[in-house]
Chains A and B, each alone.
Chain A
Amino acid sequence: MDTEGPEIEGLERIDNDIWQVPMGYKSGMRVPGRIYLSDKLFANLEKEAVDQVANVATLPGIQKFSMAMPDAHVGYGFPIGGVAAFDAEEGVISPGGVGFDINCGVRLIRSNLDKSDVDGKVNDLLDSLFKAVPSGVGSKSRIRASESELEAIFTNGSRWAVEQGYGVEADLTHCEGEGCIEGGDPAQVSAKARKRGRPQLGTLGSGNHFLELQYVDEIYDPVAAEAFNLKQGQLTFMVHCGSRGAGHQVCTDHLRNLTRAVEKYKIDLPDKQLACAPAQSEEAQAYFGAMASAANYAWTNRQIIMHHCREVFEQQMNMDADELGLDLVYDVAHNVAKLEEHNVNGGKKQVYVHRKGATRAFPAGHHEVPKAYRDVGQPVLIPGSMGTPSYVLCGKQSAMDVSFGSACHGAGRVMSRSGAKHTFRGEQIQKDLSGQGISVRAAHPSVIAEEAPGVYKSSSEVVDVVDRLGIAGKVAKLMPVGVVKG
């Protein structure tokens, strides 16, 4: 079948939505690559992203395939949208498969409100949210964590926040891993990372991070929607951010350390950003302990942000928490490595699954899916770009066979930030969105241009691919009414 798209020599189409990067694409590949794309998304595929899928396939102990989700684009080390699982004994752990913004992720909050309940109040809500959640470069929190508090955050994640009064117990049971990766080891988090992390709890950061006021525009799967407590017209709220400077510094410190380990363990690397070490080595386990700590910091951060946002809603709507019903639907990490059990070649196996710009998507019946959702599957949250729909999906059985229980994470960029600033003007985008009934607040207009809807692939096209592949099924579409950009 002829397909309009880039000429990438060696890339083979093996099915609708499935492209194979064959073993011979690059020397040293241990498994083939798999890229999940529709014809339309294939047209935007960059050769460098394919090269990155092939690079990952050369790493020791990789299982089945080096994969890229439909939102894939070129990154550093792994492509963005990259998924790879490594044998827990024979494989490696690589910070290049997680990235600098460790546990960047998304949480979705439902409400008892209808879209019409905020008519005429959106701008006031956004202004108050913008004040309550420090955002942008150089923003600092009102909270200053002490050294012992930081240790508790690195070890216990969201539970620390809930114990301090930033939320309720149900927030934990409705969060991936209950807001914690076991094995967080604060001893592996440097003084520099702590110094960066201390003043940033409850801050949004910048770039593609956001708070978004949305409503449920369409329900595709009424059974799953009911389990998630979502219904047509309902007001929802989304938070997208990560581990801030603490995570960036953890990655920087351990990449440096692992760069040296690569020589020690004589690992041949096609890209230095893929620095790694044997999974059970001292260096890899040190990174894993630090990475888990930063992931736990990120969940704490999103928990505190949600708490501050709930307070804003209570004040602005003049309603109490019970009336508002601002319950956490779910929270997913999309830059993380986890030790999980998967079926490989007919047997159960412990693997380190690296998801870089990819979301976990466990199916119905999996013990890690919250009890309330276990009959339908784990909620998979896919934020759209500014002004475009976000989607709620639920993990399906095929994900366990196809992608180590993983799905896409977002829309995926197609235009560089500098290209975006040449093409778009922040003020104009803000005006256009306002015309569509979407208000935007940002620390600076340039961030609006950088994150303009036109710089991303269509989120709808991306989720349709994972839906067709049976990795995750569409449950609901959410449309934005107001955005606070970091």
Chain B
Amino acid sequence: MKKYEYIEHTADARFKAFGSTAEEAFANAAEAMFNVMIDTSGIEPQITEYIELQAPDMENLLVDWLSELLYLFEVNMVVFSNFEVFAIEKKGDEYLLSAKAEGEPLDLEKHVFDTEVKAVTYNDLGVQITSQGVTVRITVDT
């Protein structure tokens, strides 16, 4: 199954990511987002960041998840390539996410950047859950 696909957008980057579960679709969305910035295929999993988040619904959780990765990328200067979402669960009125992201320290000599992703937008945002699987739709500001 295809992990993600990009959709044409004049100013920004838009993509869909797919998974048989929400966990898988969220992980693939993270990979799609980092691939807007850099070819993640050669990046080694040297550093692991563990992430736990909660949000009022799945769509907010998706934005929070990708925003958190952008924050960690910029502040800790880690380029991520491997994403594993352990669980997305509903607890009371909130949705909880636990995940890890792996990558290597940012090295401007080695890493060749393409378009920088500035932020994750709510524009045309969607989390679609069917019996066939989960599709998420995201537009990031570049």
Beyond the given pairs A138-B111, A192-B71, A273-B123, 11 more chain A to chain B contacts, judged by CB atoms under 8 angstroms and listed by A's residue number, are A75-B12, A76-B121, A77-B123, A196-B75, A251-B119, A259-B60, A272-B125, A415-B10, A416-B11, A421-B114, A444-B112
A87 contacts the other chain (CB 8 A) = no
B102 contacts the other chain (CB 8 A) = no
- What residue of chain A has the Cβ atom nearest to residue B126's Cβ? A272
Q: Specify which chain B residues have a CB less than 8 angstroms from the CB of A137 in the assembled complex.
A: 37, 113, 116
A115 contacts the other chain (CB 8 A) = no
A100-B118, A100-B119, A138-B106 known; A46+B10 contact, CB < 8 A = yes
Q: Specify which chain B residues have a CB less than 8 angstroms from the CB of A260 in the assembled complex.
A: 56
- The answer on a CB contact under 8 Å between B11 and A74 is yes
Q: Specify which chain B residues have a CB less than 8 angstroms from the CB of A248 in the assembled complex.
A: 70, 118-119, 141
Q: Specify which chain B residues have a CB less than 8 angstroms from the CB of A418 in the assembled complex.
A: 6, 8, 13
A74-B11, A417-B115, A419-B8 known; A138+B63 contact, CB < 8 A = no
A196-B71, A271-B123 known; A443+B115 contact, CB < 8 A = no
- Of the candidates B64, B71, B142, which one forms a contact with A249 in the assembled complex, judged by CB atoms under 8 Å apart? B71
Q: What is B's interface to A at a CB cutoff of 8 Å?
A: 6, 8-13, 37, 56, 59-60, 63-64, 67, 70-71, 74-75, 77, 106, 108, 111-116, 118-125, 139, 141-142
Complex CA gap A248/B141 in Å reads: 10
- The answer on a CB contact under 8 Å between B119 and A195 is no
- Of the candidates A206, A256, A416, which one forms a contact with B8 in the assembled complex, judged by CB atoms under 8 Å apart? A416
Q: List 22 A-B contacts (CB under 8 A).
A: A46-B10, A75-B11, A75-B123, A76-B123, A77-B123, A100-B118, A100-B119, A136-B108, A206-B115, A207-B118, A207-B142, A248-B70, A256-B60, A271-B124, A272-B59, A272-B122, A273-B122, A413-B11, A416-B11, A417-B11, A418-B8, A450-B115
- The answer on a CB contact under 8 Å between B139 and A76 is yes
- The answer on a CB contact under 8 Å between B122 and A446 is no
A64 contacts the other chain (CB 8 A) = no
- Of the candidates A192, A272, A414, which one forms a contact with B123 in the assembled complex, judged by CB atoms under 8 Å apart? A272
- Of the candidates A99, A138, A196, A255, which one forms a contact with B113 in the assembled complex, judged by CB atoms under 8 Å apart? A138
Complex CA gap A40/B56 in Å reads: 45
Complex CA gap A93/B9 in Å reads: 26
- The answer on a CB contact under 8 Å between A99 and B11 is no
Q: Specify which chain B residues have a CB less than 8 angstroms from the CB of A46 in the assembled complex.
A: 10
- Of the candidates A74, A249, A251, A252, which one forms a contact with B10 in the assembled complex, judged by CB atoms under 8 Å apart? A74
Complex CA gap A195/B77 in Å reads: 12
A76-B12, A196-B74, A418-B13 known; A446+B114 contact, CB < 8 A = yes
- Residues 229-281 of A at the B interface (beta carbon under 8 Å): 245, 248-249, 251-252, 255-256, 259-260, 271-273, 275
- The answer on a CB contact under 8 Å between A416 and B10 is yes
- What residue of chain B has the Cβ atom nearest to residue A255's Cβ? B122
A259-B60, A260-B56 known; A73+B116 contact, CB < 8 A = no
The 6 closest A-B pairs by CB, nearest first: A76-B123, A272-B122, A100-B119, A76-B121, A273-B123, A137-B113
A101 contacts the other chain (CB 8 A) = yes
- Of the candidates A77, A205, A416, which one forms a contact with B9 in the assembled complex, judged by CB atoms under 8 Å apart? A416
Complex CA gap A443/B11 in Å reads: 20
Complex CA gap A417/B113 in Å reads: 14
Q: Specify which chain B residues have a CB less than 8 angstroms from the CB of A447 in the assembled complex.
A: 115
A138-B108, A256-B63, A443-B113 known; A417+B142 contact, CB < 8 A = yes
- What residue of chain A has the Cβ atom nearest to residue B119's Cβ? A100
Q: Specify which chain A residues have a CB less than 8 angstroms from the CB of B63 in the assembled complex.
A: 256
| Least CB distance, A142 to chain B, in whole angstroms | 15
Q: Specify which chain B residues have a CB less than 8 angstroms from the CB of A73 in the assembled complex.
A: 10-11
A75-B11, A272-B59, A413-B10 known; A136+B113 contact, CB < 8 A = yes
| Least CB distance, A333 to chain B, in whole angstroms | 17
**Chain B CB within 10 Å — which of A80, A249, A252, A271 has the most?**
A252
Q: Specify which chain B residues have a CB less than 8 angstroms from the CB of A252 in the assembled complex.
A: 67, 119-120
- Of the candidates A100, A245, A421, which one forms a contact with B141 in the assembled complex, judged by CB atoms under 8 Å apart? A100
Q: Specify which chain A residues have a CB less than 8 angstroms from the CB of B108 in the assembled complex.
A: 136, 138-139
Complex CA gap A450/B9 in Å reads: 13
| Least CB distance, A48 to chain B, in whole angstroms | 9
- The answer on a CB contact under 8 Å between A245 and B74 is yes
- The answer on a CB contact under 8 Å between A206 and B116 is yes
Q: Specify which chain A residues have a CB less than 8 angstroms from the CB of B124 in the assembled complex.
A: 76, 271
Q: Specify which chain A residues have a CB less than 8 angstroms from the CB of B119 in the assembled complex.
A: 100, 248, 251-252
Q: Specify which chain B residues have a CB less than 8 angstroms from the CB of A273 in the assembled complex.
A: 121-123
Complex CA gap A74/B13 in Å reads: 12
- What residue of chain A has the Cβ atom nearest to residue B59's Cβ? A272
| Least CB distance, A81 to chain B, in whole angstroms | 11
- Residues 408-424 of A at the B interface (beta carbon under 8 Å): 413-419, 421
